[in-house]
Structure 1
């Protein structure tokens, strides 16, 4: 089947991404809703000739798409992906080439990259091909990473005389530990999907052709639960990375108590006792 033309030239064929009714109002991304109940949002990076290099305009479009899905009550989880060659092979080097220190300070380089990590809904990275530099950092901003077996991860900024600036030294260290993070950041070496899974960077690895179906299955499962309770659970897990154990335990307890003030907690328990599927109302 030939690549489809969405008005901006050919789009790299990516059989693992269901097309459906694709919103073509963006220049550098494609968005869609997936799943049997159309409760999963998809953001697909779409700069195939540049291996999805992360220019500022692409990031701004992605931020807008995520914000749109976050406000949509029908969407329970969001997937970010690329194509079979690259999730994203890094920041747009041509865009950065002649930038000066004062320009990046005034322009807040990487400042627009916060939307993914600040999203209240679960965000899942589906990584095929290269996830390097900013691409690896973007994947790590997501809540869960699933990878195809040909995926490769790395922070190669040191090779071009700079360092990661969107979380590469921080999130990577928290995910895989100091020694491995230091090795990846100081050498620029890439790791395979299987290595990334062993290191704890990736949750699961699948054959590339099965990746999207497995990610959609995961997103649909999460979307079947109470959005309100999912948000509380996500907040509790994220807090574990940013605070002491005792403070984290205290927050977890408070959030668990808070679920007892929700209709969805009562519905979930009632459905379990009555041996039926729950009907969550996000309240």
Structure 2
């Protein structure tokens, strides 16, 4: 039977952008940061709190992330509040940037699964890439790394992950085009594990999460450590990308392009429904 949240979360501070439930050894987290799940300081703070709590409870083996908004999983970083993120992320020991927060998640003992519906771009894409597995709704999943349109490099690991997953040529296509990719193409490029019909996605992820959670936790840790030794980029490499992103944001041309995009609908719910097309214009 699912555990009552009130029986297990007495050490967890109130979260304003994430709701969750615990079923046996699986924690299901639902992201909700209206109007479009931008990753700003509030969501960053709640992610830190949730990760610290889940890691502190030995009974929790699997952490599943999904969105309360079927159109947006995590749209991207809140460009107007980038300077406020470090204070929140630094509450996780050893992390002073989103890049290191995501790297921590990849290295965590927890098995993490992203259940994706809607748009996941920029830092949102990098968040799901930091998760151990990614499954997306075929009808609604949209993926993108729009940074190149502003003269920027992705700052939280996309270049590292996508090159390892899809190869050099596909990583360059994704990163340089700043375009949108549907779930079927994302699956073909290795961006996600599978694209599934939306009606099957929830049941599939729940079944997989519970199947994994029933096996010995020590095996999870050893397997993940060995796979990470082969495939996970070093923390200093993602830190370098983070520094390059911050440097790029200060560039006057990048600022001009960001402001121009804001006027055309960047960071508005309707304006970003087809962000890839808008950036190409």
Q: Structure 2 length as normaliser, TM-score?
A: 0.70
Q: Specify the alignment match of 1:88 in structure 2.
A: 74
Measure the CA separation in 2 of the matches of 1:168 and 1:203: 16
> What is the CA deviation profile of residues 73-106 of structure 1, one whole-angstrom value per residue up to 9, with x for unaligned ones?
222211011131111011111213xx59xx9xx9
Deviation at 1:222, TM superposition (A): 0.3
Is the Cα–Cα contact under 8 Å of residues 28 and 46 in structure 1 kept in the other structure?
yes
TM-superposed CA distance for 1:109, in Å, is: 4.1
Pick from 211, 225, 244 the counterpart of residue 215 of structure 2. 225
Superposed, 1:131-280 pairs within 5 Å as: 131-149=120-138, 150-242=140-232
Aligned position for 1:15: none
Task: Count residues with an aligned counterpart.
Answer: 215
Give runs of aligned pairs for residues 10-159 of structure 1, distance below 5 A: 21=5, 25-34=14-23, 38-49=24-35, 51-82=36-67, 83-96=69-82, 108-110=96-98, 111-149=100-138, 150-159=140-149
If the length of structure 1 is used for normalisation, what is the TM-score?
Answer: 0.70
Q: CA deviation at 1:220?
A: 0.2
Contact 2:37 2:72 in 1 (8 A): yes
Contact 1:31-1:65 within 8 A present in 2 as well: no
Cα distance in 2, alignment partners of residues 198 and 47 from structure 1? 30
Following superposition, the deviation at residue 161 of structure 1 comes to 3.1
Aligned to 1:263: none
* Alpha-carbon offset, residue 115 of structure 1: 3.3
Q: 1:223: how far off?
A: 0.3
**1:260 counterpart residue number:** none
Shift of residue 211 of structure 1? 1.4
* Residues 138-164 of structure 1 deviation map (CA, whole Å, 9 limit, x = unaligned): 000000111111201110012233220
| 1:43–1:62 Cα contact (<8 Å) kept | no
* 5+ long unaligned stretches in structure 2: 234-281
Task: Choose 1 or 2 for highest CA Rg.
Answer: 1
Deviations 1:127-147 (A, max 9, x none): 111110001000000001111
Long gaps (5+) in structure 1: 1-17, 244-283
Inter-CA distance 242–58: structure 2 relative to 1 (3 Å threshold): closer
**1:181 CA drift (Å):** 0.9
After TM superposition, the runs of 4+ consecutive aligned structure 1 residues lying more than 6 A away are none
Q: Deviations over 1:37-66 (max 9, x none)?
A: x221122211131x2111133122112212
SS of the residue corresponding to residue 20 of structure 2 reads strand
